[in-house]
Chain A
Amino acid sequence: MFGRGAMSNSQTELENAPLIFATGTNTTETHPVLALRVKKAVSKGAKLMVADPRKIGLTEFAHRWLPLKIGSDTVLYNTMAHVIIEEDLYDHEFVSERTEGLGELRKFLKTYTPEYGESHTGLPREEIVAAAREYAIAERAAVIYTLGVTEHVHGVYNVQALANLTMLTGNLGIPSAGLNPLRGQNNVQGAGDMGALPAFLPGYQRHGDDEARARFEKEWGVELDPKPGLTKVAAVEEMLEDRIKGLWVMGENTIVSEANTNKTREALGELDLMVVQDLFLTETAQVADVVLPAAAYAEVEGTYTNTDRRVQRLRKAVDAPGVARSDWEGILEVANRMGYAMSYSGPSEVWDEAARLAPIISGISYERIEKEGLQWPCPTPDHPGTSFLHEHTFVSGRGRFMMTPHVPAAEPPDDDYPFVLTTGRRRPTYHTGTMTRRDERLNELVPEEVLEINLEDAVDLRLEDGDEADVSSRRGTLRLPVKITDMSPAGIAFMSFSFPDKAMTNVLTTDEHDPQSHTAQFKATAVQIRRVAG
């Protein structure tokens, strides 16, 4: 395609975008402050187009809501691209100067007519055509998306199909535009930047890149493996095959957060040694062999990198309880005991080593970000940082249009499991709830998990608000109260996964995943819902 696992543009730029296309992102719940930028843009006259099966908060601010069928995202984007090409609305200059593969794309998209789009997405063809035209003719248009796009077996095709749209319309390399995945966790961007990914060393340098690997080997005094490693999904399979025997989990409640809980549990049970570093004895720490107490964000010095690539300083406010330590200090002690001697005066020295090795952040130091964070790429100490990417060229040279076929969901609803469960977030709770469930104020706002269903379904199932229901998938059953809502359309149920003590949501979800990204299909699990008799 063209580039980077990061937002192409910045959140501050969003408020000046003439058009925002929000797809698969419940931004007001997941990124409430970033959503303020979107609302501000609307108040300044921007058009907001929302594509989401659920009537999410953003739809209140949208001039066009596209309530597509769950899992039909690729078809919507492909159809929009079809319209843009066939109606000659694409940016000829950008396409000829910066991209390749238009001819092939045009041929590939021939079948994605508005009629075909309508039959798969359930949206009126006129709506799709109108959306395509609006997106294409907007002076600048920003796409924002989150896991509604990626948590499908066709997540990569979804992202690539969106990327095709941004390239066709020349919405890259300029402010207030672009392709913008809003990252869900405070430092998910930084974790990837730092090389905590199987395909990369720090700074998105591939293990197979001899020049890059040699720099790391020299700095660290060891020989490194030139082949990429295994994703979490692949590693779980290796554990079940008895080939991975040692696991280190740093601050992740894997048992609760991974799809198909029972399978994850079984895999972890096969290990010789499992180490967990965490703040709490989470469901995952409970099955570990060694648990190391971690210091929380308020207790450490360091940096986080936010969704728009901004490296920012966090500072120690209070002491950690007992003998809890920063994650990196715990790791360091084990490394030293294993005979690999390392010592650092503090986190800034760790950062400096990362910055030395990763050119995208080489110009960033604690000193420079004392007052305000800097956005990578920032290769030199006098570089001002980068608000938007791809200004003159793509990392890969020319941007390549990708062929993105429609792949139907794994495990579609059927007679036995006629509903689709989609999982997501609610503003006052966070992920597996280890932090937010321990705050009485947040607990008051959302005290328990509920199964959100549409009124029509509730009537059919003879369920009233608060009634208990059994929700079952091919992997398990949970009992929880229902909440009747007009946010979910008929046929779609919604749950978060923040209440593992009462409802371990991912017992239900399928671990069928995208073959390229290894992200599971959290957004669509076939379930049955039954009223609990009595």
Chain B
Amino acid sequence: MTIVEKVRTICPFCGTGCGMELNVFQGKVVGVTPDWSSPVSEGALCVKGQFGTGFIHSPDRLTTPLVRQNGELQEASWEEATTLIAEAFGKIKERYGGAGFALWSSSRSTNESNFMLEKFAHAVLGTNNVDNCSRT
């Protein structure tokens, strides 16, 4: 007997914010059911919402940090990658101050991640040069 779990969530494509249930089987998203209780979409989904889940388990997904060495991006650990960033950003901050940075946030990512990026910009790097994809 196959058990498919349904997880209520929100479509990741346009700004409409349709409700959907991801159908999960053995740790993989195998389908989508519209969420009839969503006041926004009331059971409707477009072709992207209904079918556009193929990218989730794509073999092209990045699975590890990458760091450029001798001109090529090489696999690295989180510790190596984040230490490198912290040191390089530390040097830029020393030399140029907050004015030496720009941070481009994502209209695709969550509120929580957007909040964290602006907090990092404002409070840690000391710059207000933070923007998102809304101008393109």
A interface list, Cβ under 8 A from B: 11-12, 30-34, 36, 182-198, 201-202, 207, 216, 220, 222, 224-225, 227-233, 235, 238-239, 243-252, 254, 257-259, 272-273, 275, 277-281, 285-286, 288-294, 296-300, 302-308, 310-319, 321-328, 330-335, 337-338, 340, 347, 350-351, 353-354, 371-373, 427-428, 430, 434-436, 438-442, 445, 517-520, 522
Residues of B within 8 A of A216 (CB): 122
Q: Which residue of A lies closest to B101 (CB)?
A: A246
Residues of A within 8 A of B70 (CB): none
Residues of A within 8 A of B77 (CB): 323
Cross-interface CB contact of A430 among B13, B27, B28, B129, cutoff 8 Å? B13
Give A247 to B89 CA distance when docked, in angstroms.
Answer: 9
B interface list, Cβ under 8 A from A: 5, 7-19, 22, 24, 27-29, 37-41, 44-49, 51-58, 60-68, 73, 77-78, 81-86, 88-93, 95-96, 98-136
Closest CB of chain A to B87's CB: distance in Å? 8
A438 contacts B45, CB within 8 Å? no
Residues of A within 8 A of B49 (CB): 33
Give A232 to B56 CA distance when docked, in angstroms.
Answer: 29
Residues of A within 8 A of B88 (CB): 246, 272-273, 289
Residues of B within 8 A of A250 (CB): 103-106, 109, 113-114, 117
9 examples of A-B residue contacts, CB within 8 angstroms: A30-B14, A187-B15, A196-B131, A225-B128, A248-B120, A273-B88, A275-B85, A285-B62, A323-B65
B117 contacts A291, CB within 8 Å? no
Cross-interface CB contact of A310 among B40, B62, B114, B115, cutoff 8 Å? B40
Residues of A within 8 A of B126 (CB): 222, 225
Name the residue in B22, B98, B113 with the highest tally of chain A Cβ atoms < 10 Å from its Cβ. B113
Name the residue in B24, B27, B44, B85 with the highest tally of chain A Cβ atoms < 10 Å from its Cβ. B85
Residues of A within 8 A of B19 (CB): 312
Cross-interface CB contact of B102 among A202, A239, A321, cutoff 8 Å? A239
Give A316 to B22 CA distance when docked, in angstroms.
Answer: 9
Residues of A within 8 A of B68 (CB): 288-290
A328 contacts B116, CB within 8 Å? yes
Residues of B within 8 A of A228 (CB): 128
A317 contacts B9, CB within 8 Å? yes
B61 contacts A189, CB within 8 Å? no
Residues of A within 8 A of B5 (CB): 317
A293 touching B128 in the complex, CB below 8 Å, given contacts A220-B123, A326-B110, A520-B135? no
Q: Which residue of B lies closest to A338 (CB)?
A: B86
A185 contacts B133, CB within 8 Å? yes
A350 touching B131 in the complex, CB below 8 Å, given contacts A186-B108, A280-B61? no
Residues of B within 8 A of A34 (CB): 16
Give A222 to B66 CA distance when docked, in angstroms.
Answer: 31
Give A286 to B60 CA distance when docked, in angstroms.
Answer: 13
Residues of A within 8 A of B118 (CB): 194-196, 201-202
Residues of A within 8 A of B78 (CB): 292, 323, 325, 330, 333
Residues of B within 8 A of A517 (CB): 135
Cross-interface CB contact of A186 among B12, B64, B124, cutoff 8 Å? B12
Give A251 to B55 CA distance when docked, in angstroms.
Answer: 15
Closest CB of chain A to B56's CB: distance in Å? 5
Name the residue in B103, B127, B131 with the highest tally of chain A Cβ atoms < 10 Å from its Cβ. B131
Residues of A within 8 A of B130 (CB): 195-198, 229
Residues of B within 8 A of A293 (CB): 61-65
Give A210 to B78 CA distance when docked, in angstroms.
Answer: 38
A328 contacts B115, CB within 8 Å? yes
A302 contacts B15, CB within 8 Å? no
Closest CB of chain B to A475's CB: distance in Å? 16
B129 contacts A235, CB within 8 Å? yes
A290 touching B100 in the complex, CB below 8 Å, given contacts A186-B17, A197-B131, A317-B9? no
B86 contacts A442, CB within 8 Å? no
B56 contacts A298, CB within 8 Å? yes
Residues of B within 8 A of A195 (CB): 114-115, 118, 122, 130
B46 contacts A229, CB within 8 Å? no
A291 touching B66 in the complex, CB below 8 Å, given contacts A229-B129, A316-B7, A430-B13? yes
Residues of B within 8 A of A337 (CB): 82-83, 85-86
A32 contacts B116, CB within 8 Å? no
A188 contacts B15, CB within 8 Å? yes
Residues of A within 8 A of B107 (CB): 184-188, 190-191, 252
Q: Which residue of A lies closest to B114 (CB)?
A: A194
A317 contacts B127, CB within 8 Å? no
B10 contacts A338, CB within 8 Å? no
A249 touching B104 in the complex, CB below 8 Å, given contacts A290-B67, A318-B27? yes
B11 contacts A201, CB within 8 Å? no
A188 contacts B133, CB within 8 Å? yes
Cross-interface CB contact of A323 among B10, B57, B63, B125, cutoff 8 Å? B63
Residues of A within 8 A of B48 (CB): 427-428, 430, 436, 442
Q: Which residue of A lies closest to B12 (CB)?
A: A297
Residues of B within 8 A of A306 (CB): 10, 15-17, 40
